Amino acid sequence: MTSPPSKPLFVAIRPPGHHCGEDTPSGFCFVNNVVIVAAHAHPKQKVQRVVVFDIGLHHGNRIQALVWQLNEETYRLALEAEAGTPAPRPGLQMFYGSLHDIMSYPCEDGKPELVQAASVSLHGGHGQHVENIHLQSYKTESEFWHLYDKVYSRLFTRASEFLDKTGGPGDDTVVALTPANMNTHPCRDRPDMFQFHSTNASHVMHAASVPSTRVRKT
């Protein structure tokens, strides 16, 4: 990323890194790829906004935490600018949208702080733009598409609202998609967890593959 890209760029990276914190690996994630890209692109490429779609089995708790931290800093700079202390440059603004199973890692033990974080829906307050949606079970393909149209597609609606609130569409925006793959997930080696995951694998796999295998207007 040494010059402005001329066309969309696809980079396949496994694992997605969404459990890796600022200084601590976790959940088989050693590098938080999306946040590193955002932190690099902001000063180097003059990217002002980043939209993250984290679509898979697990809530990306550490991406959300780092997005929150970056948005908090930008919000603080904006408040200081209103008080007469202009920022050296506009701060980075990020939208984080996650589609995940609330009964799976990192929420499987029901720890309140993790479950609450994985359920946050906040759009503009305190400078935060976060949407979490919980996967639901279904029995038929038509039931899935009903859920997609009525529930899951809200991620894209919220992302569009974020862009509208922060200046509209523009070349200053990076969109990152971090899908999961149940077939390569470490949990399949955990007999105590595999029974639950295999029961729900159909809706998780289907939800994770929607953006690339079937395009529908929203």
Residues noted as catalytic? 19
Which token pair is 195? Answer: 């029974």
Rounded Cα distance, 90 and 46, in Å:
9
DSSP H or E stretch at residue 202: helix 191-213
DSSP 125: G
> Strands across the sheet with 129-134, in order?
121-123, 129-134, 93-100, 49-55, 173-177
> What single-letter amino acid sits at 30?
F
- CA gap 128, 93 in Å, rounded: 8
CA separation for the pair 54, 16 (Å, rounded): 9
**Residue 27 CB-density burial (10 A; 0-12 exposed, 13-18 middle, 19+ buried):** buried
Q: Cite the beta strand spans of the chain per DSSP E.
A: 49-55, 93-100, 121-123, 129-134, 173-177
Angstrom distance (rounded) from CA 152 to CA 149: 7
Strand 49-55 to 129-134 pairing: unpaired
Rounded Cα–Cα distance for residues 82 and 69 (Å)? 20
